[in-house]
């Protein structure tokens, strides 16, 4: 983990309210593992002390990128920044996904909205190709479909309004796939909490291993403030774990969801 001032290479609108930011970070880029995140201080912001966490999307040479959605003052300020300007980042942070071993289970990736960003490096570094299930509310929420196809992965799209792919939730085609006769699959998921909970439940019912990247609000990002804790099984009971340092990726069998507490 390094704290560095990095320079913006590009910061471009992708679709609707989604942007792609590329920064030059020669010391950070080679250390990044799939599912890890960067904690970004947006220097032009008034209360710039509070950092914002973003999954690391792509790594190319001495650069890395994030894919972000403008939702509030931090991301709106970030969207106004231009190439040549500087950001402070702490990265790479967190415990990411387990990259499949050669000949291991076929990976099935499940992503909702900006959750796609956390999945790309995993797909790129996985020795075997699998299927990416991607869901969103509308067509504009479906990100990076082309990038995954270019890696040779099959992409199955769902939108809630039916404007692209199958109409409905991302768990529908996932369930259909798991009901097919094949064995030896492993799920990896990143997206909104209700989606993660649904994927965890499906994985349990079909006895399929699953890793979930939990989306919790974060403050310090380095294990000090305890803003980001979730409950994780420990023997017959549970204990709090910090998603910023012990996650964000957890084994689905270990996560204790709200309704189960």
Ligand X SMILES: Cc1cc2nc3c(=O)[nH]c(=O)nc-3n(C[C@H](O)[C@H](O)[C@H](O)COP(=O)(O)OP(=O)(O)OC[C@H]3O[C@@H](n4cnc5c(N)ncnc54)[C@H](O)[C@@H]3O)c2cc1C
User: Which positions lie near ligand FES, rule CB under 6 A?
Assistant: 218-221, 223-228, 242, 244
Name which of ligand FES, ligand X, none residue 99 binds, using a CB cut-off of 5 to 8 Å depending on partner kind: none
**Nearest residue to ligand X on Cβ basis:** 72
- Report the distance separating Cα 114 and Cα 26, nearest Å: 25
Smaller CB distance to ligand FES: residue 199 or 218? 218
Task: Pick from 11, 23, 65, 74 the residue near ligand X by CB under 6 A.
Answer: 74
Q: Quick one: which segment of 73-81, 95-103, 124-132, 165-173 binds ligand X (CB under 6 A)?
A: 73-81
For residue 68, state whether it binds ligand X (rule: CB under 6 A).
Answer: yes
Name which of ligand X, ligand FES, none residue 23 binds, using a CB cut-off of 5 to 8 Å depending on partner kind: none
Give residues with Cβ within 8 angstroms of 60, minimum separation 6. 29
**According to CB under 6 A, which residues from 14 to 53 bind ligand X?**
37, 52-53
Question: Token pair of 260, please?
Answer: 């189960």
Name which of ligand FES, ligand X, none residue 64 binds, using a CB cut-off of 5 to 8 Å depending on partner kind: none
Task: Give min distance, CB of 92 to ligand X, in A.
Answer: 11
Report the DSSP pairing between strands 185-190 and 106-112: parallel
Smaller CB distance to ligand FES: residue 196 or 203? 196
DSSP character at residue 115? G
Q: Quick one: which segment of 5-13, 65-73, 143-151, 199-207 binds ligand X (CB under 6 A)?
A: 65-73
Question: Token pair of 31, please?
Answer: 């250390």
Smaller CB distance to ligand FES: residue 159 or 213? 213
Q: HSE-up of 156 (CA within 13 Å, CB side)?
A: 19
Backbone angles phi, psi at 6, to 5 degrees: -120, 155
Q: What Cα–Cα distance (Å) separates residue 182 from each residue in 99, 100, 165, 177? A: 21, 18, 23, 8
Q: Give the residues across from 188 on adjacent strands.
A: 109, 211
Smaller CB distance to ligand X: residue 47 or 236? 47
* # binding residues, ligand X (CB under 6 A): 21
Name which of ligand X, ligand FES, none residue 133 binds, using a CB cut-off of 5 to 8 Å depending on partner kind: none
For residue 184, state whether it binds ligand X (rule: CB under 6 A).
Answer: no
Smaller CB distance to ligand FES: residue 163 or 193? 193
Q: Quick one: which segment of 135-143, 149-157, 171-179, 215-223 binds ligand X (CB under 6 A)?
A: 215-223
Nearest of 223, 241, 214 to residue 1 by alpha carbon: 223
User: Is-contact 255 241, C-beta < 8 A?
Assistant: no
DSSP character at residue 34? T
User: Is-contact 244 228, C-beta < 8 A?
Assistant: yes
Name which of ligand FES, ligand X, none residue 227 binds, using a CB cut-off of 5 to 8 Å depending on partner kind: ligand FES
Question: Token pair of 94, please?
Answer: 């967190």
């Amino acid at each position: 983990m390094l704290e560095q001032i990095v320079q913006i290479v590009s910061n471009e609108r992708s679709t609707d309210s989604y942007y792609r930011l590329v920064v030059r970070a020669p010391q950070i880029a080679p250390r990044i593992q799939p599912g890890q995140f960067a904690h970004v201080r947006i220097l032009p912001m008034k209360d710039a002390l509070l950092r914002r966490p973003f999954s690391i999307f792509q790594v190319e040479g001495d650069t890395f990128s994030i894919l972000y959605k403008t939702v509030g003052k931090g991301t709106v300020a970030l969207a106004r920044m231009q190439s040549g300007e500087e950001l402070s980042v702490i990265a790479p942070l967190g415990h990411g996904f387990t990259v499949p071993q050669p000949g291991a289970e076929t990976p099935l990736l499940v992503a909702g909205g900006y959750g796609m960003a956390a999945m790309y490096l995993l797909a790129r570094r996985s020795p075997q190709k699998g299927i990416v299930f991607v869901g969103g509310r509308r067509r504009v929420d479906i990100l990076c479909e082309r990038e995954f196809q270019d890696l040779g992965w099959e992409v199955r799209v769902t939108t809630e309004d039916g404007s692209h792919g199958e109409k409905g939730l991302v768990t529908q085609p996932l369930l259909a796939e798991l009901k097919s006769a094949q064995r030896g699959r492993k799920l990896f998921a990143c997206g909104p909490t209700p989606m993660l909970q649904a994927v965890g439940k499906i994985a349990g019912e079909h006895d399929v291993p699953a890793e979930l990247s939990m989306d919790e609000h974060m403050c310090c990002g380095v294990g000090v403030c305890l803003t980001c804790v979730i409950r994780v099984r420990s023997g017959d009971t549970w204990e709090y774990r910090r998603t910023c340092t012990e996650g964000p990726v957890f084994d689905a069998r270990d996560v204790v969801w709200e309704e189960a507490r």
